[in-house]
Structure 1
Amino acid sequence: MSEIDRATVAKIARLARLKIDEDALEPMAGELTKILDWVEQLSEVDTDNIAPMSSPVDAKLRWRDDAVTDGNVRDKVLKNAPHDEYGFFAVPKVIE
């Protein structure tokens, strides 16, 4: 991988709207070069026969029955409303 120079770091900082001091450009160039070298090293790993996964732990979710556990509480809920009409919350009209 080629080295990232100060001008490239300054351009990246300008595009990202970041303010980086002139004396910090050289160390940042070295850090970015190391990061890109590491990413290049990762691309060398053979992952052809590896199944994709979302977690390293093979955990299964516990399922529950899809059943209504509470209901028929409309009147209790509507007690919280300042106004109700026809069994629903009533709100003031905001669009003419």
Structure 2
Amino acid sequence: MPTISRDEVAHLARLARLAVTDAELDTFAGQLDGILESVASVSEVAADDIPPTSHSVELVNVFRDDEIRPGLAQQEPLAGAPAAEEGRFRVPRILGEPE
């Protein structure tokens, strides 16, 4: 049965540069024990004749057919813009770029 000590949790916390309290060390040690026990129980069940999988059911991508649809005329989106110039959106100059 896997167990993880408070010292190991403290070591992991130092490696991860996490500040943890003494109470958190106890809590995390218990939680990590639960995780390790779960992984160990799954490992016991795994059989050599069962291939490893990432999902319990097969995944299939669903694609839709591409359809050509009419887009907006140039002036339609520009009609709602706060500022437009020469058929384009006008935005404030940034980073001191020349005009």
TM-score interval, normalised by the smaller of the two chains: 0.5 to 0.7
Tell me the equivalent position of 2:79.
79
Tell me the equivalent position of 2:3.
3
Q: Is the 8 A contact 2:2 2:36 kept in 1?
A: no
1:91 lines up with 2:95 in the alignment? no
Give percent identity, aligned residues only: 32
**TM-score, scaled relative to structure 2:** 0.60
Q: Is the 8 A contact 1:13 1:19 kept in 2?
A: yes
Alignment partners' CA distance in 1, 2:48 and 2:78 = 57
Unaligned ranges ≥5, structure 2 = none
1:35 lines up with 2:19 in the alignment? no
Letter in structure 2 aligned against 1:74:
Q
Alignment partners' CA distance in 1, 2:48 and 2:25 = 35
**TM-score, scaled relative to structure 1:** 0.61
Alignment partners' CA distance in 1, 2:72 and 2:3 = 69
Q: 1:11 to 1:57 in 2, by over 3 A?
A: same
Deviation digits for residues 2-61 of structure 1 (CA, Å, limit 9, x no counterpart): 5311211222233341422x2453454233223212212223313754474556476773
Unaligned ranges ≥5, structure 1 = none
Alignment partners' CA distance in 2, 1:55 and 1:49 = 12
